[in-house]
A and B are shown apart, each in its own frame.
Chain A
Amino acid sequence: ETGVTQTPRHLVMGMTNKKSLKCEQHLGHNAMYWYKQSAKKPLELMFVYNFKEQTENNSVPSRFSPECPNSSHLFLHLHTLQPEDSALYLCASSQQQGNGNTIYFGEGSWLTVV
């Protein structure tokens, strides 16, 4: 238990569906992240939020739409995805307090696009 909870753990969606992944952190952190891990590839950073403001978008296609309503919650809205978007999506959080702040990950949401 890392204090970062992701739901759902598994999601199967069609290419025309709209779905959302949810992340909640119980650590009092002020920065949250979305990472993507495709099969046999390193983790890729997608988005970074700091104090609810997006500070990084790593050239992610617009079919992925993040939302950060407060420092504890992060969503990833999905629409018109492609089969190659099937992957493990990981949420993480950290506390900004200078060098050495540790990032903690959730267990991930396995997404299959059919």
Chain B
Amino acid sequence: DAKTTQPPSMDCAEGRAANLPCNHSTISGNEYVYWYRQIHSQGPQYIIHGLKNNETNEMASLIITEDRKSSTLILPHATLRDTAVYYCIVRVNTGTASKLTFGTGTRLQVTL
């Protein structure tokens, strides 16, 4: 699976949009971009994923560049409860059972 690079930490004011970047310059054509977050002492929570097109759901938006070498997770109106570590992962189905390889992620701190 391709490696990703994320900033170690970011701050965001409550109510503002949080834009979390991720570089995945060695991504392969069949690898998806996944985003998870982990709130302290809890299991990782799935947020969103995409292959080529931008995606949006009730939690966030995912913007993938045309060359697929980077992406941005957007939390449109961050709240204090969005404080967590956010993981960007690229992943291919191995054909037997897929797996996620986690890096160190971005620690997002939402402040008043």
Which residues does A use to contact B, with CB under 8 Å? 2, 4, 6, 31, 33, 42-43, 45, 48-50, 55-56, 88, 90, 92, 94, 96, 98-108, 110
> Is B43 within 8 A of A45, CB to CB?
no
Looking across the interface, which residue of chain A has its beta carbon closest to that of B42?
A: A107
- From A55, A101, A102, A108, contact of B43 by CB (8 A): A108
Question: Which residues 16-75 in B have Cβ within 8 Å of A in the complex?
Answer: 30, 32, 34, 41-46, 49, 51
Label chain B's interface by main secondary structure: loop
Q: Are A105 and B93 in contact, CB atoms less than 8 angstroms apart?
A: no
Interface string of B89-112 (1 = CB under 8 A from A): 000110011111111110000000
Assess A103 versus B100: contact at CB under 8 Å? Given A2-B45, A90-B43, A90-B44. yes
- CB neighbours of A105 from chain B (8 A): 43-46
Assess the A99–B30 pair: CB atoms within 8 A.
yes
Across the interface, which residues of B come within 8 angstroms of A101, CB to CB?
Answer: 93, 98
| Residues of chain A within 8 A of B42, CB atoms compared | 107-108
With A42-B104, A99-B30, A99-B92 as contacts: A50 and B99 at CB distance below 8 Å:
no
Which positions in B face A, CB cutoff 8 Å? 30, 32, 34, 41-46, 49, 51, 92-93, 96-105
Chain B residues within 8 Å of A56, by CB: 97, 99
B97 touches A2 (CB 8 A): no
A96 CA / B98 CA spacing, docked (Å):
8
When A90-B44, A108-B42 are in contact, do A48 and B101 touch as well, CB less than 8 Å? no
Tell whether, in the assembled complex, residue A100 and residue B43 are in contact, meaning their CB atoms are under 8 Å apart: no
Chain A residues closer than 8 Å to B45, beta-carbon distance: 2, 105
Shortest distance between the CB of B108 and any CB in chain A (Å): 17
Given the interface pairs A98-B93, A99-B93, the reply to whether A107 lies near B98 with Cβ below 8 Å is no
